Amino acid sequence: MDPIKLQLRSNRPVFRSPYSKQSNPTSRILLYSSISIAVILFCYFLFFSSKIRQNTKYGVVIDGGSTGTRIHVFKYEVRNGNLVLDFTEKGLVSMKVNPGLSSYTEEPERAGAAVAELVEFAKKNVPREGRGEAEIRLMATAGMRLLKKEDQERILDVCRRVLRGSGFRFRDDWATVISGSDEGFYAWVVANYALGTLGGDPAKTTGIIELGGASAQVTFVSNEPMPPEYSQKVKFGNFTYNLYSHSLLQFGQNVALELLRASLVSRGQETGIESLQRGKPMDPCTPRGYSHDKESWKDSPNSVVEKNRYLSALLPNGNYSECRSASLKLLQKGKDRCSYQSCYIGSTFMPKLQGKFLATENFFYTSKFFGLAPRAFLSDLLAAGQQFCEEDWSKLKKKYHSLDEEDLHRYCFSSAYIVALLHDSLGIALDDDRVGYANQVQNIPLDWALGAFILQSAAELDLQPSNWIAFVVSGVGWMVTTQAQYGMLDGLRPLVDQEARPCSALGPC
């Protein structure tokens, strides 16, 4: 290829100075105007970008879960009095470390080291000039709720020491163990925030069922009379919501599995099949051929039962129907002590489920593993789980070779446990599509920590009440406000990109 050559014409000047005699007044005016416009634009963008940086704020929430501790960094603006959350990849970042804080009862200082690692992650995602204003909160959940009060405080005190020196805005009472009903309430808030149903007809809100590692939360609007300890009165806009919110401690997926296995050994387990083979109780919730001896319990919450003692005593037998029966027996334990008109799980009061629901966390992960649609029937999960449970372990390992074996074998139990929980206990029909399995709606994560952040951030906006919808949580003492400018939604709506709206678990495509 020939080189590119510049074609110069030496008999005609290529450039003529504007100050030369040949230049005319019009050219000079155009030049000065261009320079002036450039200077004005530069100053404007310099001021505007500075103002954007000043309006951009950050908040940090540490979720102290049962199997791990996750930090969330939220980026937001207060724009015309609105709390505008950034749900882009850079606007919402998180990091998780294992195991959970509840694992450090014997070595509380290690909990501090875990939190310090998370704080460093937050510092990388929050500019130095914004850290002093950004709040950092630690909210521990079911794993810590299982501990004695003194063990909780020893772990929290170490974490508080780390957070005091983090450079973020922090108070000691911002590191705490939250109640299960609060956790469920926060999850309900973010779900209905994402769906645009806050501030509207209570009958059109969506309930939330979370299946964590150590607990399960159920929160929904009910029109039934409820005992005061199970209800929360919430006012949003012109509507008052009568919320049922309760946490089923020890009914999370991981702890429930541990308790079930312990019962198999300690009681000789009566599963409706021959309970012993080669002198060992059979484990119907684990595929045949799997060896429990390899389990490390690296993801387990603080010990609830003596895991190592009973694992080697179990013989995996992979029987879905028996696993489902054993799960139901666990869920119904204590039902004879029910003092209410209706107790669907144990002796806990629960009104009849009303409306649509989102099933999150381990509900979603299990559904996703089996390749089910967001609004799949429970009968689909039952069929997939039965096929998985009764397959030989060697074939499952080959088929799912990329998955960790400890995680893989538990899908037998999780599929049976979910059917026992949602259908056998809560009464959701096998062909009912009112339950959607999801961990996000559009690009908004269905994370209780985000719900907590939304409430706490909005509560701090210093705004004129005349143009605002008031949101009051009975008994908590917060006043959360949001401007009522979204007429068709009658409530708070996230300001997100409206162009791309993929299918959600409940909404149309």
Give catalytic residues, as residue numbers: 183
CA atoms of 199 and 434, how far apart (whole Å): 22
Tokens of 409: 């074998």
DSSP per-residue letters across 392-416: -HHHHHHHTTTS-HHHHHTHHHHHH
CA atoms of 219 and 5, how far apart (whole Å): 74
CA atoms of 362 and 164, how far apart (whole Å): 33
Please tell me whether 414 is known to bind a ligand.
no
- Quick check: 473 and 234 in contact, CB under 8 A? yes
CA atoms of 373 and 204, how far apart (whole Å): 23
Please tell me whether 217 is known to bind a ligand.
yes
- The SS3 of residue 246 is strand
Rg of the Cα trace of the chain? 29
DSSP per-residue letters across 297-342: -TT--S-SS-HHHHHTT-EE---HHHHHHHHHHHHTTTGGG--SS-
- Quick check: 351 and 310 in contact, CB under 8 A? no
Tokens of 374: 């967001």
Q: What angle do CA 92, 449, 465 make, to 5 degrees?
A: 90
**Bridge-partner residues for 219, per DSSP?**
208, 245
- Quick check: 351 and 222 in contact, CB under 8 A? yes
Burial class (CB in 10 A: 0-12, 13-18, 19+), 221: buried
Tokens of 371: 């390749």
CA atoms of 83 and 458, how far apart (whole Å): 7
Please tell me whether 253 is known to bind a ligand.
no
CA atoms of 187 and 195, how far apart (whole Å): 12
- Is the preceding omega at residue 374 within 30 degrees of 0, hence cis? no
Half-sphere exposure of 106 (CA within 13 A, CB side): 3
The DSSP output letter for 419 is: H
Q: Which of 211, 212, 233, 213 is nearest to 222 (CA)?
A: 233
Q: Which of 296, 253, 262, 361 is nearest to 103 (CA)?
A: 296
Residue set of the binding site for ATP: 213-217
Residue set of the binding site: 213-217
